[in-house]
Amino acid sequence: IEGAIKIPTVSVSPEDLNTTAMAEFGNYIREVFPAVFSSKFIQHEIVGKYSHLFTVQGSNPEMMPYMLLAHMDVVPAPPEGWDFPPFSAAEHEGFIYGRGTLDNKNSAIGILQALEFLLRRNYRPRRSFYVGIGHDEEVFGQKGAMKIAALLEARGVKLSFLLDEGSAILDGIIAGVKKPVAVIAITEKGSITLNFTVEKEPGHSSFPPTETSIGILAAAMSRLEQNPLRNLFGHGPELMTMEHLASEFRFPLNLIMSNLWLFSPIVSRVLAWKPSTNALIRTTTAVTMFNAGIKINVIPSSAKATVNFRIHSAEKATEVLEMVKNTVADDRVKIDVVEAFDPLPISPWDDQTFGVHILQRTILDTFPDVDSVVPGTCIGNTDSRHFTNVTNAIYRFNPLLLKSDDLPRIHGLNERISVENYEKQIKFLFQLIKNCDIDKLPEPHANSHEL
């Protein structure tokens, strides 16, 4: 992984990618995973110039294939504020520092490393599977993952499940829960980005109008922030998350979570207090850009703002747009849609769903401290959203133990992975590939702990 971190595969926008580094990444994986690239039963293809698709041909074609997905690209990392340069892969006190250690070269390299280990032991999988490594996930994945998905669809591929990044094992992050909990995201929020513009006559600041374009737009943005979209606790997977977690909470929370039919109004209000849990229960509003003004004594002719809404699974982009128009309630504010997509379908979650069973079993095999494997929501977006035509079972889970101080490091300063965490991730992926070779599911257990 250290060699991969040193390659600055940065995505800034769909038009601004470090393609030289992405090509170098392709050469690097060829060099460090010789068994993967020379195997007779693995086909490797380059898709969209820089993404990679591996088809691992299992010995039993009757078994339905699955897919492991990751991405090589990373967000920019200016070195200011980092303890070690962001592309140095410096090792310090058991941690490897660098952009991409958590998002998501750990998965891209981890999958190939697990496969390399299996091949070196002469292991031939019975069940076929695909490995996809995208090169533009951080900028919507349209040239990488989207093309890989289209290729599979054109070949008539149907997957039993797909595993991508998106959630993790949370240790001390969920208030009131002591033990680490594996949260597997079974959906991800949708998104709509809107541009707001106010155009007015320019003029001199010595005789200003009662309202300027800046004042009108600022008031509209304030109305959006002061009137958040509705609390939808109980209408999406967040209810399942709480119900599955109920026994893990300390008293009296365990009692409250076990009786959400009675206490859900209280719980929904408490969840709204913290930004991290508020994001689970509603469509969020984030004013991300505001531009206006050209000179200190000129009344500007226009003001522009951009707002990103992450859409709760119980709402659609069209509904959000309508509610936003009603909240702004000012015809002088022009609203344009930049991009929009609805929340992803909710993947099945029960013991008899192959992907769920395999993930539960592999997590409990690999992480002995974890008792609970629960469904959740991914509040960001991943490449997996492009694969809804090849499977209805998409699971977003990075097999890493994350503590609360790890969360700001993702896309932030001092992103790092512990050597122990990375080794566990490879062990998990190694075990997952082996566990997927079972023919049919064993009888359901009364309790996941017995696995």
pLDDT in tens, 395-425: 999 999 999 999 999 999 999 999 999 999 9
Asked if residue 2 has pLDDT above 90, the reply is: yes
**Catalytic residue status for 420:** no
Whole-number pLDDT of residue 443: 58
Closest-CA residue to 191 (of 24, 316, 46): 316
Judging by DSSP bridges, how do beta strands 334-341 and 190-199 pair with one another? antiparallel
Selected catalytic residue, list 103, 116, 137, 164? 137
Lowest mean pLDDT among 60-69, 204-213, 306-315, 439-448: 439-448
Whole-number pLDDT of residue 448: 46
CB neighbours of residue 97 within 10 Å? 22
Q: How confident is the model at residue 442 (pLDDT cuts 50, 70, 90)?
A: low
Whole-number pLDDT of residue 276: 80
Which tokens sit at 416?
């790092």
Whole-number pLDDT of residue 186: 98
Asked if residue 447 has pLDDT above 50, the reply is: no
Whole-number pLDDT of residue 277: 85
Judging by DSSP bridges, how do beta strands 181-188 and 372-378 pair with one another? parallel
Q: How confident is the model at residue 351 (pLDDT cuts 50, 70, 90)?
A: confident
Indicate the DSSP class of residue 369. T
Q: What is the mean pLDDT of the chain?
A: 95
**AA letter at 369:** D
CA distance 292 to 288: 14
Asked if residue 124 has pLDDT above 60, the reply is: yes
Q: Where are the alpha helices (DSSP H) in 301-418?
A: 317-328, 354-366
Contact 56, 436 (CB under 8 A): no
Report the share of the chain in percent with pLDDT over 90: 88
The alpha carbons of the chain give a radius of gyration, in whole angstroms, of 24
CA distance 364 to 356: 12
| Beta bridge pairs of residue 162 | 67, 394
Which tokens sit at 201?
């006559």
Contact 132, 150 (CB under 8 A): no
CA distance 426 to 418: 13
CA distance 246 to 255: 8
Asked if residue 449 has pLDDT above 60, the reply is: no
**AA letter at 227:** N
CA 313 to chain centre: 15
Q: How confident is the model at residue 450 (pLDDT cuts 50, 70, 90)?
A: very low
Whole-number pLDDT of residue 440: 73
**Catalytic residue status for 73:** yes
| Complete edge-to-edge strand list for the sheet that includes strand 95-97 | 91-92, 95-97, 416-418
226-257: per-residue pLDDT in tens?
999 999 999 999 999 999 999 888 888 889 98
Count of residues making up the chain: 451
Q: What are phi and psi of 356, to 5 degrees?
A: -65, -45
Q: How confident is the model at residue 121 (pLDDT cuts 50, 70, 90)?
A: very high
Beta-carbon contacts of 292 under 8 Å, excluding residues fewer than 6 positions away, are: 213, 214, 217, 300, 302, 303, 304
Mean pLDDT of all residues in 87-115: 98
Mean pLDDT of all residues in 105-122: 98
Mean pLDDT of all residues in 91-105: 98
Mean pLDDT of all residues in 28-50: 98
Asked if residue 10 has pLDDT above 50, the reply is: yes
Higher-pLDDT residue of 261 and 324 is 324
Q: Tokens 């829960």 belong to which residue?
A: 177
| Beta bridge pairs of residue 81 | none
CA distance 413 to 73: 17
CA distance 216 to 197: 10
In this structure, the dihedral spanned by the alpha carbons of residues 437, 442, 444 and 447, taken in order and rounded to 10 degrees, is -70
Asked if residue 104 has pLDDT above 90, the reply is: yes
